[in-house]
Amino acid sequence: MLLQDTALIYGRYARQTLRSRFALLFGVLMPLLYLLFFGPLLTNLPLGGQGSSWQVLVPGLLLQLGLFGASFAGFTIIIENSQGVVERMRVTPVSRLALLLGRVLRDATLFVFQAVLLVLAALAMGLRAPLPGVLIGFAFVALLTVSLASLSYALAMKVRTPQEFGPAINATTMPMMLLSGLMLPMTLGPTWLDVLSHFTPFRYLVDAIRDAYIGSYTTAHMLYGTLVAIAFAALAVTVGTRVFRTAGA
């Protein structure tokens, strides 16, 4: 029943996404601009033996894609709430977990597709990374999307209006981006900043993907990144499901 319900919700939102080609491609625009205009600036910089400039930048851009895209996914819930769509779904026998999973899996599919486009562009610009490492990067994007989209939907079910939702997301995502080392490894900065960055889960994910992009799959970074990604996703889905069950009750 859960699989059927999830597939039903996933299909509904996937069809909506496919009808909007603009939405399919526009989300990758900002990371692509970073790739085109910021990437060449790193070419001759000493990166502490952590790979080429593309092997450092592209993993960060993949997570940036998930961070900003999935964090704002909750705007659709606000629109649906105002139209009564969510309430009509909640009175059906469809599983509350399926109501969430169908949405976040659609989001994960969308952002992995955009991540593929980004990596193809990076390959054309000089990225060289092993195929297993690239696939691992896509898996991390999917897990991050599931996590952040779940929390985004949960927040949107609580705040109800775009005027409350937008500033709350911006106040969260910007510090996370700056402290996670998406653009450059945090080890290049002062010690206090490097230490502070370890309190953000995204730091562990980006370090893991960077290791994967240089072909290192059995490192501590990979272990910690995998554990953090899975735990974060499990926690976020649990929180999101609970909100779907109780909001408006």
Residue 212 zone, left/alpha/beta (φ > 0; ψ -120 to 50; rest): alpha
pLDDT above 90 for 226: yes
Tokens in use for 52?
């080429």
Mean pLDDT of the chain: 85
Q: What is the pLDDT of residue 23?
A: 67
Residue 99, pLDDT score: 86
* Average pLDDT over every residue of 221-245: 93
Q: How confident is the model at residue 224 (pLDDT cuts 50, 70, 90)?
A: very high
Contact, 116 vs 135, CB < 8 A? no
Give Cα separations from 157 to 97, 164, 215, 232, 243 (angstroms). 14, 11, 41, 20, 7
Q: Is the pLDDT of residue 69 over 80?
A: yes
Q: How confident is the model at residue 198 (pLDDT cuts 50, 70, 90)?
A: confident
Residue 33, classified by CB atoms within 10 Å of its CB into exposed (0-12), middle (13-18) or buried (19+), is exposed
User: Is 80 exceeded by the pLDDT of residue 219?
Assistant: yes
pLDDT digits 0-9 by tens, 78-118: 888 777 777 777 667 777 888 889 999 999 999 998 899 89
Environment class of 235 (CB within 10 Å of its CB; exposed 0-12, middle 13-18, buried 19+): middle
Percent of the chain with pLDDT over 90: 33
DSSP designation for 47 = -
- Going by pLDDT thresholds of 50, 70 and 90, the confidence category of residue 24 is low
Mean pLDDT across 109-135: 91
Q: Mean per-residue pLDDT for 202-225?
A: 93
The pTM of this model reads: 0.88
Lowest-confidence pick of 26-30, 72-76, 112-116:
26-30
Report d(CA 215, CA 129) in Å as an integer. Answer: 7
pLDDT value of position 249: 46
Name the range with the highest mean pLDDT among 85-99, 125-139, 174-188.
125-139
Q: How far apart (Å, rounded) are the C-alpha atoms in residues 146 and 70?
A: 8
Rg for the chain, CA atoms, rounded: 18
> Is residue 5 predicted with pLDDT exceeding 50?
yes
Neighbours of 7 (CB within 10 A): 15
> Looking at the predicted structure, is the pLDDT value of residue 140 above 90?
yes
The alpha helices in 181-200, defined as continuous H runs, are 191-197
Q: How far is Cα 153 from Cα 140, in angstroms, rounded to an integer?
A: 20
Least confident of 45-54, 204-213, 219-228: 45-54
The 10s digit of each residue's pLDDT in 203-212 is 999 999 999 9
Residue spans of the domains in the chain: they are 2-246
